[in-house]
Structure 1
Amino acid sequence: MQRLAAIALSAVMLGAPVAAQESAADAIAIMVFDASGSMWNRLEEDLTRIEVARDVMEEYFHTRDTSVPLAVIAYGHRQRGACSDIEMIAPLAQHEGADLAAKLRALNPQGMTPLTDSMAMARDMIPPTAESADLILVTDGLENCGGDPCALAAELAAQGINIRAHVVGFGMTEAEINTLSCLPEQTGGRLILTNSGAELAEAMTAVSTPSPQPEVAEADPVEEVAEAGPAEEGAEADTPEVTISGPRSVRIGEDFQLQWSDTINERDIVAILPMGADEDELGTWARVGESRTETDLRAPADPGMYELRYILGQDRRTLATAPIEVITADAEISGPNAVRSGENFRVQWSEPINSRDLVAIVPMGADEGELGTWSRVGSSDTQTYLRAPSDPGMYELRYILDEGRGTLARASIEVTTPEAEISGPDSVRIGESFRVQWSEPINDRDIVAIVPMGAEEGELGTWSRVGSSDPEGDLRAPSDPGMYELRYILDEGRGTLARAAIEVTAVDIDVMGPDKIRAGDTLRASWSDRVNDRDIVAIVPLGADVGELGDWTRIGSSAMQNDFDAPEDTGMYELRYILDEGRITLGQHTFEVVDAMAALGDGVMLTVPETATPGASITVTWSGSTDGADQRIALARADQALFTWISAEPIEELTEITFTMPEEPGYYEIRFLDLNAQDVLSSARIEVR
């Protein structure tokens, strides 16, 4: 604020417009992007969260106001299980949208969610010249590296510039994102829950507007200098009359209403501060504005005698005062005597002093102001749920005044070690969905997971929430064979409560199809076995990279075959059975695509003219021998089923057959059929035109 005022004063003295002296660099933005392993979870239209986010962010980078410098931080994209995996992928600068989009698309989600440390890095990147900063956290999950985002929020709120911390939750539940509400609450940012690409795009638009700059009144240069200089000799300044009033007493930390008789200037100030405080002190204060004569202030945290003041905004003179006593507040808090680690439990308290006050569970004897796990008391209910810490021991519940963060009431509570069990099959095939059972959940946010045997604590692998109803659910086996273990993981602290060994075995799939087919013809693919309904059968060019899909379909839960349109371009191709988990190839079949008019044969070769006029007669000959008892030469439309026709003639002892072509132009086919073997031994295309 002081820097902006100096800019304004310089502009006045130089006779230049204020706007011409300001720089776009006064406002900056820093995005913190979640690239943790959970971003591979499915979201919409069979796409993963990371796939949807990449597309949305590319559009955002191309359409945002590039005059506002932007930095991008990502976490969880380089190393599994490492809370230190945080990287600035784009420094604070005016970037091209394509460059930022390319950097984001290169991220490979696989790790943890150190969102607090990532936001702290963003805070440390704010240059000292910035007047405002928007920190934009895009996350699909909660902190799992032990950080305290709410403590960071308090630090951000205490910074000397206008910092707004926005939270854009992607694929989260309402309860999850609400645990991060302290960030926008304490900084004036926005909390937005999104569950689709369209909602994410809308949220990014909503948070991309830079923080509003403090208003600076544009005054006439002469008037500004005259007001700033000493009064002329003999001049008398009229002192406006105004009165201020409020309650005789309020409780510490309580919001109360005060009134004043008239507004001299909308930039004037009403304040509560200690009795007899110096003229230039403000205490807790608010601008009077231009349309009101009352407002709310919050009482200080220390009891004693105070006074309300109406203060001129221009020279900070006090025009009116009124005494007010701040008295000690009483509060009570209670809860169960003991809870299990990570368990949600109910806390009750007496009537709240302020809706912004806190109830928290902290280690016994923790320093004043420490919050642990906490919740706002709100303005209506006198109870809520907190989550017990992951470490067993003695703790205390505290009612904490938001103003000054002093503890008004406390009650002891013990956190005990929980017990859990988990079980599943002894072995499963790679990529296969399988059933897992567990004992009664500690918390419905707890996790069951399959991870490599001996994986570090906190690693999740493939996982699912336990929920609050059935003590069983499905997981999907990893794509790499080997020894793994099932784990019941406490959501609070991510400690493992139970584990069971499981082997993941390899799978081979046979894929069948034609060896040669015309471009655009119907190609029937079949496979010998299925692993998962979400597995894929695809047509790709021969030698395509692993994971490339080309023309593809899910195998589903019933059919063991699927019809494709053969590629339009001739060449060598592969049919592939692709495991959805990891997108690895389990089986393949190589085939050739030939020209749409090419003749195809299996021991027999037809000779047919390439074109004919409507109604013309053509002669068909053939070479090669067969042993079929019922063989025919058939004329059919090119798109007709294989064993239907317009006309057909038995071969018997013939060496050539004459057909009259249809009057309708189009593509037709001459087929050499073995009806007993239900086989097409040869075929050739002819165009009527």
Structure 2
Amino acid sequence: MRSDFGVKRIFKTVVAGTMLASMTSSVFATESDAGQTLLVLDASGSMWGQIEGRSKIEIARSTIDDVSAVFDVDRAIGLMAYGHRNKGDCSDIELLLAPEQGAIGNVVSAVKAIRPKGKTPLTYAVVQAADILASQTRPATVILVTDGVETCGKDPCAVARSLEQKGVDFTAHVIGFGLDAEEGKQVACVAEATGGQFFLAEDGQGLAESLRRVAQEKPEPESETIPSATLNGPEADPVIGSAFNVRWTGPDGKQDYVDIVPKGYRETYGELSYAWVRSGQPGTIKAPGDPGEYELRYVWQGKNKKHVLAREALHVRDSDVALIAPKEANAGAMFAVQWRGPGGKGDYIDLVDSGVTETAGELAYAYVERHDRESQDRVTLQAPRSAGQYDIRYIMEAPDGRKRLVAEPITILAAKASLAVEDRIRAGAEFPVYWTGPGAPQDYIDLVPQGYTDTAGELSYFYTKSAPESGSLRAPAKPGNYTVRYILQASDGREVLTRQDILVEDVEARLTLAQSVSMGAALEVSWNGPDGKGDYIDLVPAGYSDTSGELSYFYTRSAPEKGALKVPGKPGNYQVRYVMEGATGRRVVASESITVEKASATLEFPAEVPVGERFSVTWSGPSAQGDYVDLVPAGYGETFGELSYFYTASAPGAGMLQAPDSAGEYRIRYILEAADGRVVLIQKAVRVVTN
């Protein structure tokens, strides 16, 4: 039984159709009658995944360059890529080079410039692609190199059948790069439906051999002798959704399988259930969820295509109590179970170790009670994290206790995940991580120190559910060796599925500023540095080591290349610092010393002023932002609650104050607005008198 993850992988191949949806007929104009070839390169983020220590995109670049001489110079060739410009964009498809004679060198150069980034956009353009291809008078050949990760998803096999039914003169050769046999089987349907060939390329050598095979205008199929096979199905008709055993004789090829299809079905893809021959006899197959007439088939993978070697009729009967569930599921995956049964209050479907008879201690369960008439007879369970044999059961809550009505086996496969991330990351930087895996509701990707084994206490993380296909982590501020991990949260706990080591590299920053400045002034600071999210420039006392409690600061992203700091109101030695924000906290990456010098001010005004009248005050001083001249009662020590004031910036050289209505002794002051508060630079007495 195919997992949801596998089905998604199939759909990637439909890019052979999707890419053509954006072309006009002029793209296909050529000077040669030999037809045209369009190389379609998967440039989604998963191409950063590694094979034997090298990223798949790096292998693809060098391999395409190495085999470029094999392509016929008289045949027009072009290049299309997808997922190379934007993250999370299902419309990111670009025809980089229209097919043109002698253009293989341009194709090689363009491939070298591609940097994988985003999603795999295969969803909405396929039907349009069929229409465009049908309008062309020349045959078109597509060579699709895909690593099998699809994230914009429909069923590519259905699209392939649609292309075939429309009679599109279009051949797709599909190269599954880095796919396993299970994934490769499901990708092959596009090539099969369009008369092309499918190849599994495990590494660079396999990719090169596959490209050489399809570089010819019409690759010559290898001659082969068709072997024979027999099938021996179940003695009794199986019940809907039940598992049954099948035996066979045949060539037992590595890619051979036994499947079940509707009666008369002729395609070698789109089967309802199957079992690999290589897994040994007897094979276990799941009956469909609908009663009726079906066929068992032995499918042999020949050198050029698949062949059905044997068929056997199969009748699937109905039942009042049944469970229709997948034959297999990946560890940690969510999977649906259809059920038939009483549906009483307290009834539930559970998952237990194979052979368990107790009606307690289940690994996962879901109640079947319908909440309304629209509720479907379907529940969702989560697989455990350990691979092995398990049972899915219908448990009825009866007056005399719980009873097991039916049980069906399920094989939980070891969960697979992959991570694609650049191996060198700048300290403090946010960086993308491309992933494949179960994608269970609580799965997450994290960053930990290299060698860290706990599944808690991570430095940075994101949930896969919130970041389909790719998400971002924040590198720590401290350089060193770290590990990115995929954490599976299954029904019975967490497990690290895969990991990739990265090197967090140190960063540099530079600060340019005056060596001394007057207290309270605005200090201009020019800077150069990583400019990460949350990075800032601050001012602190000399020798201060904390990365909080600063006297003044500005964020680098709010002040590109240059910003201003407010200087404190106390003379002395200080430091201006570049502070980087990382996953583990802040770190000072650059520092410059500065001396804050004492500021002075003068005030000139009449010694006596009448009550209630306005009078002029001549002043000199720093005139920093926020500085002001005020009037307060004699002996008043606060720097607020003044009786009258004016800002120096609004009254250059002189300003007006108003005398209070009560006669007496007062003070006129120059107030400096500094980074660490207000400072009285000078104060002088004034007498307010009655007229």
Length-normalised TM-score, structure 2: 0.46
Length-normalised TM-score, structure 1: 0.46
